[in-house]
Structure 1
Amino acid sequence: MNLFNIQEKNKNNMANLEKSKILVVDDKPENLDVLIDYLDKFGLTIFVARNGEEAIQLATKIMPDIILLDVIMPGIDGFQTCHHLKENENTREIPVIFMTALSDKKVKGFKVGGVDYVTKPLQHEEVLARIRAHITIRFQQKKLEKQNEDLLQLNQEKNDFLGMVSHDLKNPLNNILGIADLLNSSIQDKERKLLRLIEANSKRMLELITELLDINRIESGKRDLSLQKIELTALLFESVYRHRMPAEKKQIQLHFEQTDKNCYLYADRTAITQIFDNLISNAVKYSPFDKHINIRLFQSEKVVRCEIQDEGQGITKQDQQKIFAKFARLSARPTDGENSTGLGLSIVKKLVESMDGHVWAESEGKNKGSLFIVEFPR
């Protein structure tokens, strides 16, 4: 750090100090006068309370940046006063520095919420140094809290904008697909090829928009889950059946294995269906021609477990670190030109975790196949 930066830092610290309000609590005026005169020289605004009850009332009113609190006072002592301050939501975060001549009371001060202590007789330079240190910490905490609030607000605005734009794009795309379907039966082969290109790209955009809307609803807490007792075997079988045609197109065989006839779980039916569909679709997309995909369902007293294992391109160690991230760029690619939005696995993870489940992927490496596992507690 160069001399200019040091000077700027010291200047900022002094500026923070001059804006600060200090509440000094002591029942003996002779202990306060010299200290107050000393602190006043540095531009601090000093408030005085003579006992614990007065300190609690005054702190709530003025909201000081630091409280210097004597331990031994009539009525409620410093420890009780600090306890009351920490129980109050409005004064809980105000740093309390104890002033005490009793060395054995230091630990108790920390236990009731104090952040520091100075020993009596007071060394004024030490008191100022500790005040400055804790004001700086407090200032940085407030700054970080404000930055965090701003980031949360920006993220919410981004989600709102994304939801609005995606929703507004979805209807025109549906119209394009509807018109393309009507025209398809009344045009020549050359135009039909162009129309199919329009239709394929429109479907690709619609899939991306649908998943953007979906993940936006999940992240913003707008997707409500309806937990009910559902039978997973039938749901998983239906999902396997829905993917039979794209699998057959690539000569991929889907095998569904189950250990028990019925497998029940309290979960959201729509979310579970979407999880199964995304994982099986992903396995089909990334599997080469003429391979096998095994889908297994197990249950025990504590968990329900679904496994989807393919013979595809596998997952590199680097990709395993980011495979469930949004828009992750992975080394593997769909094997027959299928569309991939980069959001499917991220949606799976968020849906699984929203129902207290866990999902992960295992692979021995590139071209060694992949195993996706989903577990839910029972």
Structure 2
Amino acid sequence: MTYRRPYSVPDNELLRLEKLKDYQILDTHSEDTFDKLALLAAQIFNTSSAYINFVDKERVFVKSNVSMLLMDDVPRAESLCTIAIKNDNVTIFTDTLTVPELISNPALPIDDVRFYAGAPLKSPEGHNVGTICVVDSKPGEATEEQLTMLKTLASIVIDKLENRLRYRKSIESQVNLMNITLHEIKNPLASIKLANEIISKSPQSVERMTENIYSSVSRIQSKLSELLKQSELEDKDMMLSVEEVDLKEMFVRLLNNFELLALRKKQVIEFHCDENLPKIEADRTKISDVLHNLLSNAIKYSYHDTTIKVTAREAGNYVHIEVKDEGQGLNFSDMQKLFTKFAKLSSTPTGKETSNGLGLSISKSFIELHNGNIYAMSPGKDKGTTFIVSIPFKFNKTEELTEISEYN
């Protein structure tokens, strides 16, 4: 065993602490599963004490305690586990009083701990987050078979933690998928409500609004079907259904859906599009959701009697889309967390509308799946905001798969 001084930390300390945090094991109650493993370790070595410990930044948290001592944690400098996590094999001291480096460290309790054997709890990434160790107040010996069994117990602890982590991530993935789907359903529901109000105020628009209602209902059915399908997949990443999309036609449909909402605030929506704008290869529903969200936000956060300008133009191999409003604008703090889920921004709806803080984060993920980009510009508070979206005309599926792979 290569011995290192106890006050030094592993080279991968930051990554190690991140992995320990991911396990969410610190400051949890004792559990029968872990306690049985610690007890088995004590029985294998025939020692008076055994522990399952996790080494945090400044302390060692005691998850399982098979001893007469009552303690939940100890300072990191006072634990031999601080040394053990810096070794990939079992760290063993048959008699601590014969090790000069330990004797010279007054913080270590070597008068009470004469025999120590600790196997690191190594994560699949190679981070030693803690130990399963056996301790005795008198010197002792250990056979190779005992040390091998201690390493096996350490691997069982890690397997347990990894299974919990996978389960938790699976649940989080399902919840995120559900949130995304519910958010996407909100848009067509809003379109149905607007179309119904337009029909009640303007009977001659029945034919046009009926088509919008039918389209919105179809989108809801599609989203629910997609949710059921994706919930059955092991890979929860969103996949795209790519087809040719006429953006000009899509914008006209969206503007028809939003005309009543804008009129309520006496807002004017100006739309400018290149006459010969080529069609793009994209997922029609997801791009529509993005544009719907940007236009909805522009109306929601803009003041009454203002103008919203929407433009779409060709820019090299990309279509360049801008949604510019004369609303409340963004401050520096807003810009830092703009596309974060459930972010609380300084702007508030000007017509008592509601917001769940998911729209922009979902829009960003949809645009990035298309190998595009989305960002915002604002001169400052009360000076308006411009959202810019760039999407390639040709969709490169290889790039999409590469990005998904890198994300995983």
User: 1:146 Cα shift?
Assistant: 8.6
Q: Among residues 258, 265, 268, which one is paired with 1:243 in the alignment?
A: 258
Q: Among residues 146, 160, 170, which one is paired with 1:156 in the alignment?
A: 170
The superposition leaves residues 109-149 of structure 1 with CA deviations (integer Å, 9 ceiling, x where unpaired) of: xxxxxxxxxxxxxxxxxxxxxxxxxxxxxxx9x99999677
CA distance in 2 between counterparts of 1:327 and 1:8 reads 40
CA distance in 2 between counterparts of 1:332 and 1:228 reads 36
User: 1:154 Cα shift?
Assistant: 0.9
CA distance in 2 between counterparts of 1:326 and 1:16 reads 42
CA distance in 2 between counterparts of 1:363 and 1:144 reads 48
Unaligned runs of 5+ in 2: 1-6, 8-74, 93-115, 118-124, 127-153, 190-195, 197-219, 394-408
Q: 2:180–2:362: 8 Å Cα contact kept in structure 1?
A: no
Q: After TM superposition, list the pairs within 5 Å mapping 1:202-213 onto structure 2.
A: none
CA distance in 1 between counterparts of 2:372 and 2:335 reads 19
Q: 2:364–2:374: 8 Å Cα contact kept in structure 1?
A: yes
User: 1:361 Cα shift?
Assistant: 0.6
- Amino acid aligned to 2:320: R
TM-score (norm 1): 0.51
User: 1:14 Cα shift?
Assistant: 6.7
1:320 match: secondary structure: helix
> Are residues 165 and 328 of structure 1, via their aligned partners in 2, closer, same or farther at CA, if it must alter by over 3 Å?
closer
Q: 2:372–2:391: 8 Å Cα contact kept in structure 1?
A: yes
User: 1:16 Cα shift?
Assistant: 3.5
Residues 1:7 and 2:86 aligned together: no
Q: Among residues 315, 322, 327, which one is paired with 2:342 in the alignment?
A: 327
The superposition leaves residues 183-202 of structure 1 with CA deviations (integer Å, 9 ceiling, x where unpaired) of: xxxxxxxxxxxxxxxxxxxx
CA distance in 1 between counterparts of 2:179 and 2:291 reads 28
Q: 2:374–2:388: 8 Å Cα contact kept in structure 1?
A: yes
> Are residues 368 and 158 of structure 1, via their aligned partners in 2, closer, same or farther at CA, if it must alter by over 3 Å?
same
Max radius of gyration: which structure?
Answer: 1
CA distance in 2 between counterparts of 1:233 and 1:359 reads 19
Q: After TM superposition, list the pairs within 5 Å mapping 1:1-378 onto structure 2.
A: 4-5=77-78, 7-12=80-85, 16-17=89-90, 150-160=164-174, 221=236, 223-378=238-393
User: 1:375 Cα shift?
Assistant: 0.2
Q: 1:362–1:372: 8 Å Cα contact kept in structure 2?
A: yes
1:243 match: secondary structure: helix
1:272 match: secondary structure: helix
User: 1:157 Cα shift?
Assistant: 1.6
In the alignment of these two chains, the number of paired residues is 233
Partner of 1:123: none
Q: 2:173–2:236: 8 Å Cα contact kept in structure 1?
A: no
> Are residues 292 and 144 of structure 1, via their aligned partners in 2, closer, same or farther at CA, if it must alter by over 3 Å?
farther
The superposition leaves residues 272-295 of structure 1 with CA deviations (integer Å, 9 ceiling, x where unpaired) of: 111111000000000010000000
CA distance in 2 between counterparts of 1:226 and 1:157 reads 25
| Between 243-252 and 159-168, the greater mean CA deviation after superposition | 159-168
- Amino acid aligned to 2:280: L
> Are residues 277 and 145 of structure 1, via their aligned partners in 2, closer, same or farther at CA, if it must alter by over 3 Å?
farther
- In proportion to residue count, which structure has more helix? 1
> Are residues 275 and 5 of structure 1, via their aligned partners in 2, closer, same or farther at CA, if it must alter by over 3 Å?
same
- Amino acid aligned to 2:328: Q
> Are residues 221 and 161 of structure 1, via their aligned partners in 2, closer, same or farther at CA, if it must alter by over 3 Å?
closer
Unaligned runs of 5+ in 1: 20-41, 44-92, 95-139, 175-180, 182-205
CA distance in 1 between counterparts of 2:349 and 2:376 reads 17
- Amino acid aligned to 2:168: L
Q: 1:233–1:261: 8 Å Cα contact kept in structure 2?
A: no
CA distance in 2 between counterparts of 1:328 and 1:308 reads 21
User: 1:8 Cα shift?
Assistant: 3.2
> Are residues 145 and 275 of structure 1, via their aligned partners in 2, closer, same or farther at CA, if it must alter by over 3 Å?
farther
Partner of 1:133: none
User: 1:258 Cα shift?
Assistant: 1.2
CA distance in 2 between counterparts of 1:225 and 1:254 reads 30
User: 1:368 Cα shift?
Assistant: 0.6
User: 1:362 Cα shift?
Assistant: 0.5
User: 1:300 Cα shift?
Assistant: 2.9
2:354 match: secondary structure: coil
CA distance in 1 between counterparts of 2:273 and 2:176 reads 40
The superposition leaves residues 207-227 of structure 1 with CA deviations (integer Å, 9 ceiling, x where unpaired) of: xx99xx79x989963643211
> Are residues 334 and 144 of structure 1, via their aligned partners in 2, closer, same or farther at CA, if it must alter by over 3 Å?
farther
User: 1:9 Cα shift?
Assistant: 1.4
CA distance in 1 between counterparts of 2:251 and 2:325 reads 16
CA distance in 1 between counterparts of 2:234 and 2:379 reads 32
Partner of 1:51: none
User: 1:346 Cα shift?
Assistant: 1.2
User: 1:262 Cα shift?
Assistant: 3.4
CA distance in 1 between counterparts of 2:181 and 2:273 reads 39
Identical-pair percentage = 30
